[in-house]
Amino acid sequence: MLRAIYDWVDERLDITPLWRDVADHEVPEHVNPAHHFSAFIYCFGGLTFFVVVIQILSGMFLAMYYVPDIINAHASVKFLQNEVAMGAIVRGMHHWGASVAIVMLFLHTLRVFFTGSYKHPREFNWVVGMLIFFVMLGLGFTGYLLPWDNKAYFATKVGVQIAASVPYLGPYIATFLQGGDIVGAQTIARFFALHVFFFPAALLALLGAHFILIRRQGISGPL
């Protein structure tokens, strides 16, 4: 039955080569922790992606209860954490996952750096990876404000002030980030938009590029 459906689709869309290419490619033993345990350093990239998946899923579910608004944001976070079943766990996954994602990303970057894997012909993928790093930092910065507690508010205020100290462009950047003159109602709305639409879209596009490049160029050889 399943076979027949698959064949029906495959006959029309020729999907077999798509997944066969990914499924059948050979993975060398030097990145396989089952062969050399030290190869676990090659797992950090995959784990970063896994945490990103956790972040995206938990974020989608949190958005079912969260509202980005200076009056209600804090109340809604408090509600979802304390009164909804497993709220503390789902918010915990998103909160701690953010830190774990940064740690994993950091370790992955160091692995690539120390094994010299960014060298010819993989220069471009290194650049894509660095862009992913910046997007993740952006996600961290914008997400930090959303619970709208004192910590969030004052950290963002400092962050915006730091941006404002950039010569010439600073005041414009600060106004753009705040959406006005102060960190307030307009700031939380645009941080929310950046956090759930703009940055994740950029992240997914960059991740797609990252993976396509890996498949094209293969994993760098053993040292």
Partner 1 sequence: MSKKLSRRQFLTYTLGSTAGFLGAGMLFPMVRFAVDPALKKGQGGNFIDVNLPLSEVTDKPRSVQFKVHKKDGWYSFDEVLTAWVLRDKGKIIALSPICKHLGCTVSWEANPQYPNTFFCPCHFGRYTKDGTNIPGTPPPKPLDRYETKEANGKLLIGPLMQT
Partner 2 sequence: MAHNQDGNHKEQVHYVGDSRVRANRKKMYPPDYTEFPHKSEAFFPDFLLKEWMVAAVFLVGFMTLVMAEEPPLGDIADPTNTGFLPVPDWYFLFMYQLLKYKWASGPFVVIGTLVLPGILFTSLILAPWLDRSKERRPSKRPVTIGLMLVAIVSVCALTWAAEAEHETQLESAVGSPTKNKQIVDANSEGHKLYQENACIRCHGEQLQGKNGPPLLGVGNRRTAEQINEYINEGKGGVMPAGMFQGSPEQQKILVNWLMEQKQK
Q: Which residues in this chain contact partner 1 in the complex, by CB under 8 A? A: 50, 53-54, 57-58, 61, 64-65, 72, 75-76, 78-80, 84-87, 89-90, 93
Give 179: exposed, middle or buried? Use CB within 10 Å, 0-12, 13-18, 19+.
middle
* 18-57 binders of partner 2 (CB under 8 A): 22-30, 32-35, 40, 43, 46-47, 50-51, 54
Q: Which of 9, 18, 162, 201 binds partner 2 (CB under 8 A)?
A: 162
Q: How far is the CB of 63 from partner 1 (least distance, A)?
A: 10
Is position 208 an interface residue for partner 2 (rule: CB under 8 A)? no
Cis peptide bond upstream of 33, omega within 30: no
Say which entry of partner 2, partner 1, none residue 172 contacts (CB below 5 to 8 A, set by partner kind).
none
Say which entry of partner 2, partner 1, none residue 155 contacts (CB below 5 to 8 A, set by partner kind).
partner 2
Q: Which of 84, 127, 201, 204 binds partner 2 (CB under 8 A)?
A: 127
- Evaluate whether 163 touches 19 at the Cβ level (below 8 Å): no
Q: How far is the CB of 49 from partner 1 (least distance, A)?
A: 12
Closer to partner 2 by CB, 15 or 216: give it. Answer: 216
The three-state secondary structure class of 1 is: coil
Q: How far is the CB of 11 from partner 1 (least distance, A)?
A: 24
Say which entry of partner 1, partner 2, none residue 162 contacts (CB below 5 to 8 A, set by partner kind).
partner 2
Q: Which of 59, 108, 135, 147 binds partner 2 (CB under 8 A)?
A: 147
Find all residues with CB under 8 Å of 76, minimum gap 6, and list them: 65, 66, 67
Q: Which pair of tokens denotes residue 37?
A: 């345990």
Q: Which of 6, 8, 96, 172 binds partner 2 (CB under 8 A)?
A: 96
Is position 187 an interface residue for partner 2 (rule: CB under 8 A)? no
Closest to 80 (Cα-Cα) out of 96, 97, 98, 92: 92
Find all residues with CB under 8 Å of 105, minimum gap 6, and list them: 48, 132, 133, 136
Q: What is the DSSP letter of 14?
A: -
Single-letter amino acid code for the residue at 204: L
- Evaluate whether 159 touches 141 at the Cβ level (below 8 Å): yes
8/221 Cα distance (integer angstroms): 40
Say which entry of partner 1, partner 2, none residue 149 contacts (CB below 5 to 8 A, set by partner kind).
partner 2
